[in-house]
Amino acid sequence: MITVITRFAVPNTIDASQMRAAFTQAAPAFRNVPGLIQKQFLLSADGRSAGGVYLWEEEQAARSFMQQRVVPMIREKFQVEPTIEFYHSPVLVENGEPQNVPA
């Protein structure tokens, strides 16, 4: 499994309520994406930085989707350049139960 973390600065012209509305509007674009298990939207307490955490079945699908869909979406909507980090997720914990994930 692969975890991807995106982060970007929220433009000064956008407040926290507008970011929540933007997340709600963008959410349907992440439904039924092949290989995407879960996506979380992130907003800092002060509303000045945002991003997402994605859990993927495999790295190639993650890299492709992030570069082809997510990065352009963030650039277009917020006029900022996101950072993207890819991590292998060898162990997941759900409901307190650790699970090893095949490499």
- Supply the pLDDT for residue 95: 81
Q: Is 56 exposed, middle or buried (CB count within 10 Å of its CB: 0-12, 13-18, 19+)? A: buried
pLDDT per residue of the chain (103 residues) written in tens, 0 to 9? 999 999 999 999 999 999 999 999 999 999 999 999 999 999 999 999 999 999 999 999 999 999 999 999 999 999 999 999 999 999 888 886 656 666 5
**Cβ pair 32, 61 in contact under 8 A:** no
- Supply the pLDDT for residue 44: 96
pTM: 0.88
- Supply the pLDDT for residue 98: 58
